[in-house]
């Protein structure tokens, strides 16, 4: 009986393997099972194919794992000059270590016209050589347009399949025991970054002199030395004189153009254009101090003259958006000079015609987010979620009822607002009582402990069932005569309720 069963299993297996065109070694059927054997054979076949493809994918034709990068440079007569620089700067110990590096070595002919000032200054020469070396192994097959590689100089250089920065790769992907060697047809100099360039041209461009003048000192605990710990509070006690660092308002509030791992485009106005542009903003930054007004107008000029990203002169868009959201119109015909930098590009422009109206943004004040109230009436105050059945939207509002205080108000602070005219729009709906009521938006200019009323905009709050109740309404206008803080007070008429979805303050320059 068992022999017949064994014979049938063997015959079935043979028919199956013939159908699949697989030659199976004769094995004694066991508990392992014919199906398990077939699965293993398939898996082995796929594994061999996958390994072969992976080997092909990773194949490096130009390799010599018996030598390191230092030896590869030293034995190539075409790279003898750069090899000498490696030794002179002490980087030979780096390139014979076990850590992986990539070297983009300029040929001898590429270095023929290298500035002697670089060759004769060890600090400059070291930075120059480091600008051609990166940690890790980088092959051209992995390079792509837009790739920037961090190099030992602290800079980033672009790396594409046939280019390293502006140099062409003439010999690629020589793979040695501790990295990769590429040969390039020109040197890649160490460029200034935008911040370094700004600092080096303060005597040429008034704009850059102003930007550098925004430096200030501050305390950075991460840079300070801790002498002891306060036994009462547990706070660190820092050593006097440590932790003092310089920062800059432009880098803090616009873009930190010291960063090497990002790219920026920086627009420099010629001196006459910078003066004209900043002077045109002075009416919007009126203050008791002419110096303060001058600083404000200049800062609000430069804050729209840098953008993130690289915009080549031959591919300038019609406009770009500043960090502030201001459209910056661009024209290649306005470019006076171009400066390539390690983290971007700078254009000297004789004109950047930013519209004044685009510089000033409207603000929306959410009713449910007041800065405070005249007095504590938390028991009478509700922050509600409502549904606008007309416009099909959920919204949140503030509702204060039964407070019992004449002219009770909630207030909203607007810090540092320009001196100009503004329009005020509001939306608030009465869906909680059957009669309409009035309330006012009172606008005040705040100077220290005193305030001046600029406008009182009284309006009726519509019933939610009235036509157009969920449409915002223009309440009126006010003019701020000096740059500074505004306080908006949502004020009750008598002891009436208060309700507000939002206010919208629109500048009218």
Same domain? 209 vs 339: yes
- What is the rounded distance in angstroms from the CA atom of residue 167 to the CA atom of residue 193? 19
What is the model's pLDDT at position 11?
56
pLDDT in tens, 238-288: 999 999 999 999 999 999 999 999 999 999 999 999 999 999 999 999 999
What is the model's pLDDT at position 169?
98
pTM score, whole prediction: 0.82
Same domain? 257 vs 402: no
Query: Is residue 97 in some structural domain?
Result: yes
Contact between 379 and 366 (Cβ < 8 Å): no
Number of domain units in the chain? 3
- The number of helix segments (H) and strand segments (E) in the chain equals 13, 30
Lowest mean pLDDT among 9-18, 74-83, 359-368, 382-391: 9-18
pLDDT at position 22 over 90: no
Query: Is residue 29 in some structural domain?
Result: no
Same domain? 166 vs 246: no
Residue ending a domain, choose from 333, 355, 377: 355
Of 388, 427, 425, whose CA–CA distance to 507 is shortest? 425
The CATH number linked to 487 is 2.60.120.260
pLDDT, greater one: 327 or 30: 327
Backbone φ and ψ of 379, nearest 5°:
-70, -15
pLDDT in tens, 117-167: 999 999 999 999 999 999 999 999 999 988 999 999 999 999 999 999 999
Contact between 366 and 406 (Cβ < 8 Å): no
Angle between helices 2-19 and 34-57 (to 10 degrees): 30
Same domain? 119 vs 160: yes
Strand, coil or helix: what is 245?
A: strand
Tokens of 185: 């047809």
Same domain? 218 vs 299: yes
Same domain? 372 vs 503: yes
Same domain? 156 vs 207: no
Query: Is residue 159 in some structural domain?
Result: yes
Contact between 361 and 355 (Cβ < 8 Å): no
Same domain? 208 vs 351: yes
DSSP state string for 149-177:
EE-TTS-EEEB-SSEETTEEEEEEEEEET
Tokens of 18: 């013939």
Same domain? 338 vs 412: no
Strand pairing report for 473-479 and 421-427: antiparallel
Strand, coil or helix: what is 278?
A: helix
Residue ending a domain, choose from 163, 184, 205: 184
Say which residues have a Cβ less than 8 Å from residue 405's Cβ, sequence separation at least 6: 374, 375, 377, 492, 495
The CATH number linked to 101 is 2.30.180.10
Query: Is residue 485 in some structural domain?
Result: yes
% the chain with pLDDT above 70: 88
Same domain? 96 vs 235: no
Residue ending a domain, choose from 184, 203, 234: 184
Range(s) of the domain holding residue 344 = 194-355
Mean pLDDT of the residues in the chain: 90
């Amino acid at each position: 009986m068992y022999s017949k069963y064994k014979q049938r299993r063997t015959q079935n297996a043979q028919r199956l393997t013939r159908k699949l065109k697989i030659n199976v070694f004769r094995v004694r059927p066991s508990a392992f099972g014919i199906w398990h054997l077939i699965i293993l054979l398939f898996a082995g076949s796929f594994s061999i194919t996958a390994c072969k493809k992976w080997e092909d994918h990773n194949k490096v034709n130009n390799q010599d794992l018996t030598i390191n990068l230092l030896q590869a440079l030293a034995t190539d007569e075409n790279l003898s000059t750069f090899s000498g620089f490696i030794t002179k700067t002490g980087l030979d110990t780096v390139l014979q270590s076990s850590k992986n590096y990539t070297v983009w070595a300029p040929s001898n002919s590429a270095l023929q016209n290298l500035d002697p000032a670089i060759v004769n200054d060890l600090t400059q020469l070291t930075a120059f050589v480091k600008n051609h070396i990166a940690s890790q192994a980088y092959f051209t097959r992995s390079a792509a347009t837009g790739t920037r590689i961090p190099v030992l100089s602290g800079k980033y250089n672009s790396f594409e399949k046939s280019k390293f920065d502006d140099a062409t790769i003439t010999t690629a992907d020589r793979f040695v025991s501790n990295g990769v060697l590429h040969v390039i047809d020109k040197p890649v100099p160490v460029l200034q970054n935008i911040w370094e360039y700004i600092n080096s041209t303060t005597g040429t461009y008034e704009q850059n002199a102003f930007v550098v003048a925004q430096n200030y000192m501050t305390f950075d605990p991460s840079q300070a030395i801790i002498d002891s710990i306060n036994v009462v509070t547990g706070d660190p006690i820092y050593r006097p004189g440590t932790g003092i660092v310089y920062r800059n308002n432009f880098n803090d509030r616009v873009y930190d153009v010291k960063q090497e791992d990002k790219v920026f485009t920086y627009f420099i106005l010629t001196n006459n254009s910078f003066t004209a542009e900043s002077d045109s903003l002075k009416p919007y930054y009126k203050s008791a101090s002419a110096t303060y007004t001058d600083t404000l107008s200049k800062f609000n000029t430069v804050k729209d003259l840098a953008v993130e990203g690289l915009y080549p002169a031959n591919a300038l868009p019609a406009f770009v958006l500043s960090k502030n959201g201001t459209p910056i119109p661009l024209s290649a015909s306005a470019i006076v000079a171009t400066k390539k930098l390690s983290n971007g590009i700078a254009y000297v422009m004789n004109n950047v015609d930013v519209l004044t109206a685009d510089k000033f943004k409207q603000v929306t004040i959410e009713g449910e987010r007041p800065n405070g109230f005249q007095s504590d009436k938390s028991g009478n105050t509700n922050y509600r979620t409502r549904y606008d059945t007309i416009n099909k939207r959920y919204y949140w509002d503030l509702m204060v009822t039964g407070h019992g205080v004449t002219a009770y108000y909630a207030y909203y602070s607007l810090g540092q607002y320009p001196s100009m005219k503004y329009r005020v729009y509001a939306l608030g709906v009465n869906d909680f009582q059957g009669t309409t009521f009035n309330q006012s938006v009172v606008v005040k200019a705040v100077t220290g402990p005193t305030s001046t009323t600029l406008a009182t905009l009284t309006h009726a709050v519509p019933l939610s069932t009235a036509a157009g109740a969920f449409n915002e309404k223009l309440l009126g206008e006010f003019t701020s005569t000096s740059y500074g803080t505004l306080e908006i007070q949502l004020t009750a008429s008598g002891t009436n309720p208060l309700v507000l979805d939002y206010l919208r303050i629109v500048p009218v320059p």
